[in-house]
């Protein structure tokens, strides 16, 4: 497995909501990765340097769509990183406002509600999501979730991909990572946070973080949580 780049620690304040996360500070460098959320990279002084599809992009305002493979090669000492779930963001509004979005979380936070939108979901999909939440951190069976939503497993899988732009398995992993991060930032150890979110061990959590965010669990120790 490739070694993490130097200066990869995430340091700053993390605003963690149900469908949005925002980091004020330094997100550090990362290996190549891709994740479910759309991502915004904002800064005023130093620019971001990001590799996207083998090409380097340097800018103070960058938009990375869901599952866009990328690596952060250089991060500003002070910047703002935003993660937005695809089903809860108005992409047109974000792109229209991108050049003028503030890079300070205190100024950006009042604007987030205008960028996020709760797209109406089928009630059966809502039932499936609620059932997943009720079963975590334990194992989640596609058959059990489909039964709760009154769908076949194939219907369930299709609706997750069409309505949420992610597979059922990918959604479950995303929610496990959310739970692990909440526990870690609340003061639990890395190992306890991994177990509390349903990961087999700390190594399992770190592998998932490397694949989805290009970093290991230890790189999150410098974050402070803001709810």
Assign 116 a pLDDT band (cuts: 50, 70, 90).
confident
Assign 148 a pLDDT band (cuts: 50, 70, 90).
very high
Nearest residue to 68 (alpha-carbon basis) of 106, 24, 100, 38: 38
Query: 225 lies in a domain?
Result: no
Task: Summarize pLDDT for 67-115 with one digit per residue, the tens.
Answer: 999 999 999 999 999 999 998 899 999 999 999 999 999 999 888 888 8
Query: 111 lies in a domain?
Result: yes
Task: Indicate whether 131 and 202 sit together in one domain.
Answer: yes
Task: Indicate whether 131 and 107 sit together in one domain.
Answer: no
Residue whose token pair is 């609340």 = 186
- Does the pLDDT value for residue 2 go beyond 70? no
Question: What pLDDT score was predicted for residue 206?
Answer: 92
Query: 1 lies in a domain?
Result: no
Tell me which of 95, 115, 135 is where a domain ends: 115
- Does the pLDDT value for residue 3 go beyond 70? no
Task: Indicate whether 129 and 108 sit together in one domain.
Answer: no
Task: Indicate whether 165 and 181 sit together in one domain.
Answer: yes
Tell me which of 93, 115, 137 is where a domain ends: 115
Nearest residue to 41 (alpha-carbon basis) of 54, 15, 22: 22
Nearest residue to 175 (alpha-carbon basis) of 134, 224, 227, 118: 134
Task: Summarize pLDDT for 185-202 with one digit per residue, the tens.
Answer: 888 999 999 999 999 999
Task: Indicate whether 161 and 190 sit together in one domain.
Answer: yes
Helix (H), strand (E), coil (C) string for 178-223: HHHHHHHHCCCCHHHHHHHCCCCCHHHHHHHHHHHHCCCHHHHCEE
Query: 57 lies in a domain?
Result: yes
pTM here is: 0.91
Question: What pLDDT score was predicted for residue 65?
Answer: 97
Question: What pLDDT score was predicted for residue 9?
Answer: 82
Residue 125 has a CB neighbour count (10 Å cut-off) of: 19
Query: 97 lies in a domain?
Result: yes
Domain around 141: 123-214
Question: What pLDDT score was predicted for residue 219?
Answer: 87
Task: Indicate whether 40 and 110 sit together in one domain.
Answer: yes
Cα 220 to Cα 8: distance, rounded to the nearest angstrom: 9
Task: Summarize pLDDT for 4-19 with one digit per residue, the tens.
Answer: 555 578 899 988 888 8
Task: Indicate whether 173 and 97 sit together in one domain.
Answer: no
The number of distinct structural domains making up the chain is 2
Query: 210 lies in a domain?
Result: yes
Task: Indicate whether 67 and 138 sit together in one domain.
Answer: no
């Amino acid at each position: 497995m490739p070694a993490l780049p130097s200066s990869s620690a995430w340091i700053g304040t993390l605003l963690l909501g149900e469908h949005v996360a925002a980091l004020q500070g330094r997100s550090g460098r990362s290996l190549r990765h891709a994740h479910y959320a759309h991502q915004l990279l904002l800064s005023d002084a130093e620019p971001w340097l990001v590799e996207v599809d083998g090409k380097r992009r340097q800018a103070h305002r960058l938009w990375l769509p869901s599952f866009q493979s990328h690596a952060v090669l250089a991060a500003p000492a002070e910047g703002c990183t935003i993660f937005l779930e695809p089903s809860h963001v108005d992409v047109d509004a974000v792109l229209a406002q991108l050049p003028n979005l503030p890079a300070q979380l205190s100024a950006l936070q009042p604007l987030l509600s205008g960028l996020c939108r709760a797209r109406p979901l089928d009630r059966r999909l809502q039932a499936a999501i609620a059932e997943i939440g009720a079963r975590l951190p334990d194992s989640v069976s596609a058959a059990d979730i489909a039964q709760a939503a009154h769908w076949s497993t194939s219907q369930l899988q299709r609706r997750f991909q069409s309505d949420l732009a992610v597979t059922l398995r990918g959604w479950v992993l995303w929610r496990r990572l959310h739970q692990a991060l909440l526990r870690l930032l609340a003061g639990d150890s890395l190992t306890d946070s991994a177990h509390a979110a349903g990961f087999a061990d700390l190594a399992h959590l770190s592998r998932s973080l490397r694949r989805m965010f290009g970093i290991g669990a230890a790189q999150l120790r410098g974050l402070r949580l803001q709810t």
